[in-house]
Amino acid sequence: MDNLDKLENQSIFILREAFAKFENLAMLWSIGKDSSVLLWLARKAFLGHVPFPVVHIDTSYKIPEMIEFRDRMAREWNLNLVVGQNRGALEKGETFPLGRKTRVECCTLLKKDALQATLEAKGYTGVFVGIRRDEEGTRAKERYFSPRDKNFEWDFKDQPPEFWDQFTTDFEKGTHIRIHPLLHWTELNIWEYIHREKIPVVDLYFSREGRRYRSLGCAPCTGSIESAASSVPEIIEELRATRVSERSTRAQDAESEGAFEQLRAQGYM
Amino acid sequence: MPELLQTEAPLRIVIVGHVDHGKSTFVGRLLNDTHSLPEGKVEAIAASCKRRGVDFEWAFLMDALQSERDQNITIDTSQIWFRTPRRPYVIIDAPGHKEFLKNMVTGAASADAALLLIAANEGVQEQSRRHGTLLSLLGIRQVAVLVNKMDLVGFDQKVFDSIEKEYRAFLERLKVRPLAFIPMSARQGSNVAAPSPELAWHRGGTVVEALDGFQAPAAPTELALRFPVQDVYRFDHRRILAGRVESGSLKVGDTLVFHPGGKSSRVASIERWAAPPAQEARAGESVGITLAEQIFVERGHVAAHAGDPMISSHQVHARLFWLGKKPLEPGRRYKLKLATQEAEVELKEIRGVLDSSTLETLPGRPAKVERNEVAELVFSSRRTLVMDNYDLHEATGRFVLVDGGQACGGGIVFGEAYLDEEKAGSTPTEIYFSESAVTEAERRALKGHKGCVVWFTGLSGSGKSTIAKALERELIQRGVHATLLDGDNLRFGLNRDLGFSAQDRRENIRRTAEVARLFADSGAVVLTALISPFREDRAAARQVAMDGGREFLEVFVDTPLETCEKRDPKQLYAKARRGEITEFTGISSPYEPPERPDLALRAESQTLQDCVTAVMDLVLARIRTKG
């Protein structure tokens, strides 16, 4: 059994544990490479099916190719797609940079608040999220099964222990548990797996005119990197050589020291 | 993809030790000396230190969170990747502070090997010992001990030797044999990746050499099969058992035995999606299987091969570490999770409590297990659990105890205890009944009477159901909570799998008696109307009620066979006479009348009202509450 097999088997195990324990489950799909791999793993776990809704939090600032890709895959993979959006904030124009909100405030309104409202409206008690420990410091602190309280908050200082593949599956009414089946994967593992399994990803990841996206988010806050990698194997080669962190192009993280930590403690993905 | 070799799986390392013995500094140094840091990381931290007006510390590398820098303690498990020329590693930083032991356990439980740090200037401390104990319980077999801060003791070999001697002796008691003991200084980078002249007296190599000497973990494919069922899917009109092969392997065509229960079936297919077809699934693989013979299987069952028994018991003998805020104590209920099984358990016996830092057994007979203690215990479960001796099968030999929704303890199963019971010739079948939190007196106060069982017996057509129904109505009208369990009705649900052989009749009665007793426990007056032809079975039903402290009134509806046959309301006697029904009581199967019933009714000569009144008088006298 090689490394990708091990990663895959562990993720399938986690997906199935969650499916066995939660009645009202959903999977967050950001259209990015990680959550697309997560969807693929769900189909592995449930033998070709995705037996729960797939939720996309649409800030309306996503790069247009992402939305096209989303709608195409939803049709091809027969997904039950739920789109969540903070229409109130968008109508009032409370966004960055036009609405004089900071990047972090904009993320809070359009992503975190929209997510919270969607989860509450649908009553999901378990939510799959495709985050990985190697992305950045606060995600490294995560558990596979991570409880969120009534205010959506994550108390990373007082998390239940998690060991021997026994997970926190009890929760109080009004709270939910985030489930992170990709927690043990790295960015490189993700691309190697995409290559092996031939998983479709948005074209934005591939170099056009010398630039490509390494991490995808909203158009105003996500930058591209200089890169000639125009295929999955070329991306893998590039990542093996790089010593620059993956989220370096995500401007909201850099707005202040601890900005991303704050966002996550409040309930960001 | 030959041109693109896969990234190798990293070896997972946990670093533990007493608070302030230099774990974070060591990790920072290790990352730097193995050239594993992202570009600009050291510079960024140096700049941050300058802004704060503090000296640069290697430890800041690990302190990814703002609050950690404020508190100066690493508070949770983080993971950091690095590599040596030999292979990649991931470090699970485990906090040393006592408050955060649950995080240490979270990190350490998933490690392949451990580095245990001891500061040379402080020597072996409480947490050094506690962590050693936990590592052994968590099943971490590969350990190297690093004696850090040698610079603070002038690189003195005597200091190192004395720490090594003391700590080796401690670990020996846990049967943990470290692969290396290394004197080093994280701050100065001595013996981390490169040897140092001050430590030339030590011939045991550097930390990196020790790391490269650890073995990568291998899935236990050579052991006997254990396949815990995670779920049963009904996709595409097929019934698929989902699960991970924890040890051994299974092949299409193999006969699997599902524990508990021992039902067996053959593997018809191995199911995976977007993967090449497979005839075999090996340890570590998450698969689905379909069965050739459809048997009842659900989450929690564990499949093994025939002739390879598992421990199947209501009792769990275990050694356990406890992390709960509240002590672990008898009389409270906990949820036990073992493989995919979940059961409510109670602590039945504390055989001994160890202080995990001294390994001393606490004196006397402790009444509870406090946080951070290790204990030898016996739990009892309401349902049968299947498990293995931890030494033989890890995945089915260990469990997590949940209290208030959170994992609070981890235990490993002591198989020897079961072997002893087997040798003694007794199968472990003790069932423990949990005490209800509501008292008998409270229930009586609520209803105004006690619960009891009124057991009607008599031939088919004797009038049992008619009398019982009328009695039920009368009792309800008097405010008595009465409920009727009619034998015919029970055969539609609870007992629908049973026929009329002597064996099935016995089971029919046993189940009915158990249900009656449960209703009676809740304060109801339970009326049962079953033929119940055999004395022995009725005696057993009485025993069930008596064991629960419930009154059991046997009411014999004594109607002669001729009368019953003449009435024949369901035309059953006619069918029995024609041979269409076999084993029919009174015709082709005997009825044993009670020798000393609590009440006998001559339904032939008494009116229905007389019969009902007679039983009513008896019942009311027995259920009246005093005071």
* Average pLDDT of the residues of chain B: 86
Strands ordered across the beta sheet of B551-557:
B482-486, B525-529, B452-457, B551-557, B599-601
Tokens of B535: 């004395």
Burial readout B177-208 (b: 16 or more C-beta within 10 A, e: otherwise)? ebebbbbbbbbebbbbbebbebbeebeeebbb
The verdict on residue B3 lying in a domain is: no
In a domain, B218, yes or no: no
Give the pLDDT confidence of A165-214 residue by residue, as tens digits.
Answer: 999 988 877 788 999 999 989 899 999 999 999 999 999 999 999 999 99
B287: nearest CA partner in chain A: A45
CATH class given for the domain over A3-186+256-266: alpha beta
Q: Are residues B172 and B45 in the same domain?
A: yes
Last residue of a domain, one of B249, B271, B305: B305
* Pair B255, B317 in one domain: no
> E strands along B138-254, which residues?
143-148, 180-183, 227-235, 238-244, 249-251
Q: Are residues B401 and B515 in the same domain?
A: no
**Residue B99 belongs to a domain with what CATH number?**
3.40.50.300
pLDDT class of B476 with cuts at 50, 70, 90: confident
Residue B41 is part of which domain span? 11-212
Cβ burial of B561 (10 Å; 0-12, 13-18, 19+) is: middle
Best mean pLDDT range from B2-11, B148-157, B209-218 = B148-157
Q: What angle do CA A169, A171, A174 make, to 5 degrees?
A: 140
**A to B CB pairs, distance under 8 Å:** 162
User: Same domain for B445 and B561?
Assistant: yes
Q: Residue B344: pLDDT above 70?
A: yes
Residues of A in contact with B48 (CB under 8 A): 257
| Three-class secondary structure of residue B430 per DSSP | coil
Same domain, B280 and B316: no
- Three-class SS state of B411: strand
What are the residue ranges spanned by the domains of chain A? Answer: 3-186+256-266, 188-253
User: Does B279 reside within a domain?
Assistant: yes
Tokens of B236: 């595409």
DSSP H or E stretch at residue A9: helix A3-21
Query: How many Å apart are CA B96 and CA B103, to the nearest integer?
Result: 9
Per-residue pLDDT at B427: 41
Could B1 and A159 be called an inter-chain contact, meaning their C-beta atoms sit closer than 8 Å?
A: no
Q: Is the pLDDT of residue B274 over 60?
A: yes
The answer on B374 and B250 residing in a single domain is no
Residues of B in contact with A39 (CB under 8 A): none
**Nearest-CB residue to B233 (from A46, A143, A237):** A46
Measure the CA–CA gap between A197 and B482, rounded to whole angstroms: 64
Query: How far apart are the C-alpha atoms of B557 and B540, rounded to whole Å?
Result: 19
Radius of gyration of chain B (CA): 34
pLDDT, one tens digit per residue, over A78-108 is 999 999 888 888 888 888 877 777 888 888 8
- The segment with the largest mean pLDDT, out of A27-31, A110-114, A115-119, is A27-31
Beta bridge partner(s), residue A212:
A225
Phi (first) and psi of residue B117, to 5 degrees: -95, 135
Give the total residue count for chain B: 627
Q: Cβ separation of B106 and A163 shorter than 8 Å?
A: yes
Strand, helix or coil for residue B610: helix
Residue B484 pairs in a beta bridge with B527
| pLDDT the model gives residue B583 | 85
- The pLDDT of residue B63 is 60
Handedness of CA B595, B599, B601, B606 (dihedral sign): positive
For B102, nearest residue in chain A (alpha carbons):
A161
Burial class (CB in 10 A: 0-12, 13-18, 19+), A102: middle
Average pLDDT over residues B507-534: 93
Q: Assess if residue B433 is contained within a domain.
A: no
Q: Maximum CA pair distance of chain B? A: 111
Query: Which residue in chain B is spatially nearest to A137 when comparing CA positions?
Result: B64
**CA–CA min distance A46, chain B (Å):** 8
What distance in Å separates residue A12's CA from the closest CA in chain B? 7
Whole-number pLDDT of residue B388: 93
Do B127 and B97 share a domain, yes or no? yes
Assess whether pLDDT exceeds 50 at residue B433.
no
CA distance A88 to chain B (A): 33
pLDDT of A76: 93
Residue B504 shares a structural domain with residue B564: yes
Q: Is the peptide bond before B2 cis (omega within 30 degrees of 0)?
A: no
Task: Supply the pLDDT for residue B413.
Answer: 92
Which amino acids of B are annotated catalytic?
A: 532
| In a domain? residue B487 | yes
User: What pLDDT was estimated at residue B500?
Assistant: 82
| Final residue in a domain of this structure, among B158, B188, B212 | B212
Q: Do B445 and B567 sit in the same domain of this protein?
A: yes
Task: Say if B474 falls within a structural domain.
Answer: yes
Does one domain contain both B278 and B388?
Answer: no
Task: Verify that B291 and B334 share a domain, yes or no.
Answer: no
- The pLDDT of residue B301 is above 90: yes
Q: Up-side HSE of residue B152: CA atoms within 13 Å toward CB?
A: 14
pLDDT at A86: 86
With respect to residue B604, please indicate whether it lies within any of the assigned structural domains: yes
Q: Which of B388, B423, B458 is the last residue of a domain?
A: B423
User: Model confidence over B171-207: pLDDT tens digits?
Assistant: 998 888 899 999 999 999 999 999 999 999 998 899 9
**Who's near B485: CB < 8 A, 6+ residues apart?**
B512, B515, B516, B519, B526, B527, B528, B529
Q: Which of A104-113, B266-275, B389-398, B425-434 has the highest mean pLDDT?
A: B266-275
Q: How many domains does chain B have?
A: 4
* Pair (B90, B73) in one structural domain: yes
The first and second tokens of residue B310, run together, are 């598992």
pLDDT the model gives residue B17: 84
Q: Which residue has the tokens 């390879």?
A: B308
**Contact criterion met (CB below 8 Å) for B453 and B517:** yes
